[in-house]
Structure 1
Amino acid sequence: MRKIRLLLTFILLIAVITLLVGCNILNDLIKEGGGNAPLSKLLDKTAQEDTVEVTTESQQTEQTVKLYFADADGKVLIEENRTIPKTLSLARETVSQWLLGPAGKSSAYPMVNPQTVLLDIGIKNGIATVDLSKEFLEPYSNVSAETALYGLVNTLTQFQTAQIVKIRVEGQDIQTYRGIGLENLRYRNDLIGYASGTVQDDEVTAEVSPSGINLFGQ
């Protein structure tokens, strides 16, 4: 019998404590909304206090890349440093800038037919595979085949993830480029004459028409 009374006393004590806590919550609700505030308002207030607002600030970053063009005789590579907006597809944008040609104040010359279009590009296992339109195969001005070819190869292999370049034309693998074999195309330092300085991408002139360039591929 004594145990039953102790149990009832304990239950009553718990009930009183619960009632007092409930009254405090109710008082808060009454103070908040003049007696008309719903319980969800208090719960929402608590949730807001526990939430930390996170803000992100977008920053425009830039990247300087090296582009290799021809000299006046078409036999030596001239290195041009170009500053472009940083992008997720840096290799794609770099080749697109190469196809646009050198800056107007540069002493370098374009390498390939300005109608050449970048169709696709990818880098995997150290191999950069670039797919260009058929205009790439056409001789352009007095630029030698070797200079034009390694202008592209050196431009691509400046990236640590690309050691070898593989070239496709209109989606098809090609074995030669104007009589030059395309096996194991790697960076060649011996063809580089000199550097022409650094330019911003907005300094590139319309000498090579941007209308013939596909910046995003298909």
Structure 2
Amino acid sequence: MADKNKYVLYIVISILALILLSTLIYSKFFATIESKVYFANNQASYLIAQTREVKKKRLYFNLIQELIKGPSSDDLVATIPPQAKLLGVEVKNKTALVDFSKELKTSHWGGTAGETMTVYSVVNTLAQFNEIDKVKILIEGEEIETLAGHMELSKPLPFNSKIIKSE
């Protein structure tokens, strides 16, 4: 009888362990989170947040991918040229390093407002998280002085609440 009880206990513990393991795997690889992604209004005078549901795994990368996809509303405009590719996002010492392909620069539409909207859509999308204080944009792994000639990008930038319009 004691052997049977040990066997039942072993089965119960094994099932509980499998449930726990399945839950951990699911939460790591398949769980999603709702987060803000910032797009420009039609006049490129401010940013408006759209909520997107993205996978928690590679969260920051996935959020910037959502920026590249563009807005889901006709009253907002994309801030990143669709030709641009995201090469990577890495967080070091509370600074996010966001690496884009050269098309972010070569396909950018230019202008002071356009550059500001592009830069701060990236910065504000990532710097909304406690783990990130500042964001630095890289092109092909290299630091850049400016994207379109109007903003200094040699230093990481913090969240900019002044450029956001609440709805």
Which category describes the TM-score, using the shorter chain as reference length?
0.7 to 0.9
Instruction: State the distance in 2 between where 1:107 and 1:73 align.
Output: 10
Q: Secondary structure at the match of 1:120?
A: strand
Pairing 1:28-177 to 2, within 5 Å after superposition: 48-51=7-10, 52=13, 53-54=15-16, 55-56=18-19, 58=23, 61-84=31-54, 86-103=55-72, 105-137=73-105, 138-140=107-109, 144-177=114-147
Distance 1:83 1:171, change over 3 A: same
- Match of 1:148, as an amino acid? T
Q: Distance in 1 between matches of 2:58 and 2:47?
A: 25
CA distance in 1, matches of 2:161, 2:5: 66
Bigger RCO (CA 8 Å, 6+ sep):
1
Structure 2 CA distance for aligned equivalents of residues 194 and 106 of structure 1: 17
Secondary structure at the residue paired with 2:57?
Answer: coil
Helix, strand or coil at the partner of 1:74? coil
Distance 1:141 1:74 in 2: 12
Match of 1:187 in 2: 159
Cα distance per residue 1:92-130 (max 9 Å; x no partner): 111111111111x34211012101111011112111001
Does the CA contact (< 8 Å) of 2:67 and 2:80 recur in 1? no
Q: Scaled by the length of structure 1, what TM-score is found?
A: 0.62
- Aligned residues of 1:76 and 1:192 also touching (Cα < 8 A): yes
Partner of 1:214: none
In 2, the alpha carbon distance for the partners of 1:118 and 1:184 equals: 18
Amino acid corresponding to residue 108 of structure 1 in structure 2: L
Q: CA RMSD in A?
A: 2.4
Q: How many residues align?
A: 152
Larger radius of gyration: 1
Give the alignment's TM-score, normalised by structure 2. 0.79
Cα distance in 1 between the residues matched to 2:158 and 2:96: 10
**Any unmatched runs of 5+ in structure 1?**
1-27, 29-41, 196-218
| Runs of at least 4 residues off by over 4 Å | 57-60
Cα deviation for residue 171 of structure 1 reads 1.4
CA displacement at 1:194 relative to structure 2? 3.2
